[in-house]
Amino acid sequence: MAAPQQFFSYVDGNAGSFIQRLAKAVAIPSVSGDGSSRKHVFAMAEFLAHEMEALGIQVNSVDLGNHVLDGEELPLPPVILGSFGHDPKKKIILVYGHYDVQPALVSDGWDTDPFVLSPDEKTGRMYGRGASDDKGPLLGWLNVLEAHIKSNIELPVNLRFCFEGMEESGSEGLDELINSRVGPGEFFDGVDCVCISDNYWLNDRTPCVTYGLRGIAYYKVQVSGPQRDLHSGVFGNTVHEPMTDLIHLLGQLVSTKGEIKIPGISSLVAPVTADEMKRYEVLDYTVADIEHSAGAQVAISDNKTRVLMGRMREPSLSIHGIEGAFSAPGAKTVIPARVSGKFSIRLVPNMTPENVDILVFRYLQEEFAKLGTKSALKIENLHGGKPWLADPNHWNYRAAIKATETVYKKTPDLTREGGSIPVTLTFAEALGVNVLLLPMGRGDDGAHSTNEKLDRSNYIEGTKLLGSYLHEVGIISKS
Ligand SMILES: [Zn+2]
């Protein structure tokens, strides 16, 4: 039997308290990438562990030791491992989520305080950093469990939880932890499949299940020259300027049409099959959708398939910022002594951080040599992760598709996503099981952006979806 009606009724009847739970979580500014917020990341871990224990989950907060962030040694936030159910007749489903968030400041352009969940009654949108990425989905699992316990419905599977606090900052320490606990009798032993709810629908109307993710290779290119910042009136046209050199270098990375200029990259990309091509053609997705998500008419092409493939199965290179550059208001006449450009490449099969590194380092060094400057160049790879592809015909996917049809009365789009969640690949490789991405939020949620939101209906129906999925898995394991 599919998920019982009492489950759906409980979720509907307790939507208000589920939203309260989300509001409490959003109020904790658990920004992992900023050292001064580290205490909040720990506070978020504590909040979560407490919520989980109250539901009867056996919780183990695993200390990952320290790391260095911007020259400061800091404790890493714990990975929260939880267990619920030990019935050998049921499958063991591992769910993953992250409780850290991207930075957010009102001055970035938020219309509301990013750390106060702000529901808009008219549109049903609930604004707040982390509402969609990834606190809403993570709490969705706890809502599911609460609904079962309070309604006396037997959970059809055994659950294992793995919640981390460093996802937005390269998941430091997580791979080691997972790999160290896969042996007999260890935490991850016996897991039958993995479900991750940490991505989005393509648009705002059709749910999706996701079977692929791009990887990433993130670089910092530092150009340095004078010993200290200089005055352009005194030193302009007198010394080699690091900023000028860096801008030239960054200008050689990618065309304004999105083509990566680094030689050798395109030959690493796996060719498209006819079958795969068909999947893009049937997706409920238009160029207008991506422009709606972006909030402006800025798509790189009018061709749907080109835009879809650009996001799902082609690499991309984005320039993110320049550290050390003068960026305040006003007209300071400084020549910065040292500047660092940050850029990343999204990877697709058969690219890996390793084979891309070689091409990137060689190309930057060659292009820098052409500048004929006396500045110094230093290239660093800040973090990386391989791309991932799963089999969308696996029972784990069939359960998710069925659950989506039950809750949303729609067949979900089968998508590959442009972002990176490196742990997906770690789970697939370390556990050797199928991994499913089952998103809760919509394509226009603005994760990592200003005015991030989660629609009330996505949170509530999304909770039903996660619960239904567990019941569909339960049915499959009996048949
Ligand atoms: Zn996320």
pLDDT in tens, 445-462: 999 899 999 999 999 999
pLDDT given at position 274: 87
Which tokens belong to 147? 């609904």
pLDDT given at position 281: 86
**What mean pLDDT is predicted for residues 436-442?**
97
Domains and CATH numbers, the chain: 5-213+388-478 (3.40.630.10), 215-269+314-385 (3.30.70.360)
pLDDT of 398 strictly over 60: yes
Spacing, Cα 232 to ligand 1 middle (Å): 43
First CA to last CA distance, the chain: 11
Tell which residue, 206, 95, 252, 220, has the closest CA to residue 159. Answer: 95
pLDDT of 479 strictly over 80: no
Rounded to whole angstroms, the Cα distance separating 54 from 39 reads 23
Tell which residue, 329, 277, 324, has the closest CA to residue 303. Answer: 277
- Cα atoms in the 13 Å half-sphere on the side-chain side of 447: 24
Determine if the peptide bond prior to 66 is cis (ω within 30°): no
Rounded to whole angstroms, the Cα distance separating 37 from 69 reads 12
Question: What residue type is assigned to position 288 of the chain?
Answer: A
Provide the pLDDT confidence category of residue 292 given band limits of 50, 70 and 90: confident
Q: Which helix (H) or strand (E) holds 216?
A: strand 215-224
Spacing, Cα 419 to ligand 1 middle (Å): 9
Of the residues 51, 146, 164, 167, which is catalytic? 167
Provide the pLDDT confidence category of residue 478 given band limits of 50, 70 and 90: low
> 167 an active-site residue?
yes
Burial (Cβ within 10 Å: 0-12, 13-18, ≥19) of residue 284: middle
Rounded to whole angstroms, the Cα distance separating 29 from 296 reads 29
Spacing, Cα 375 to ligand 1 middle (Å): 38
Which tokens belong to 300? 């790189």
Tell which residue, 77, 81, 43, has the closest CA to residue 61. Answer: 81
Tell which residue, 400, 426, 418, has the closest CA to residue 79. Answer: 426
Question: What residue type is assigned to position 165 of the chain?
Answer: G
User: pLDDT tens digit string along 240-281?
Assistant: 999 999 999 999 999 999 999 999 999 999 999 888 888 888
Question: Percent of the chain beyond pLDDT 90?
Answer: 88
Spacing, Cα 203 to ligand 1 middle (Å): 17
Tell which residue, 204, 403, 348, 202, has the closest CA to residue 283. Answer: 202
- Cα atoms in the 13 Å half-sphere on the side-chain side of 376: 7
Question: Percent of the chain beyond pLDDT 70?
Answer: 99
> 100 an active-site residue?
yes
Annotation: binding site for Mn(2+): 98, 133, 168, 198, 448
Provide the pLDDT confidence category of residue 385 given band limits of 50, 70 and 90: confident
pLDDT of 1 strictly over 80: no
Q: Which of 101-105, 221-225, 442-446 has the lowest mean pLDDT?
A: 442-446
Spacing, Cα 98 to ligand 1 middle (Å): 6
Spacing, Cα 236 to ligand 1 middle (Å): 44
**What mean pLDDT is predicted for residues 95-105?**
97
pLDDT of 404 strictly over 90: yes
**What mean pLDDT is predicted for residues 268-297?**
88
Q: Which helix (H) or strand (E) holds 147?
A: helix 136-150
CA 310, chain centre distance (Å): 18
Rounded to whole angstroms, the Cα distance separating 331 from 6 reads 64
Tell which residue, 123, 104, 124, has the closest CA to residue 112. Answer: 104
In this structure, are residues 200 and 443 in contact, taking their beta carbons and an 8 Å threshold? yes
In this structure, are residues 74 and 67 in contact, taking their beta carbons and an 8 Å threshold? yes
Place of tokens 């394991």: 477
Spacing, Cα 303 to ligand 1 middle (Å): 28
Summary mean pLDDT of the chain: 95
pLDDT given at position 298: 95
Rounded to whole angstroms, the Cα distance separating 397 from 377 reads 47
Of the residues 100, 164, 314, 461, which is catalytic? 100
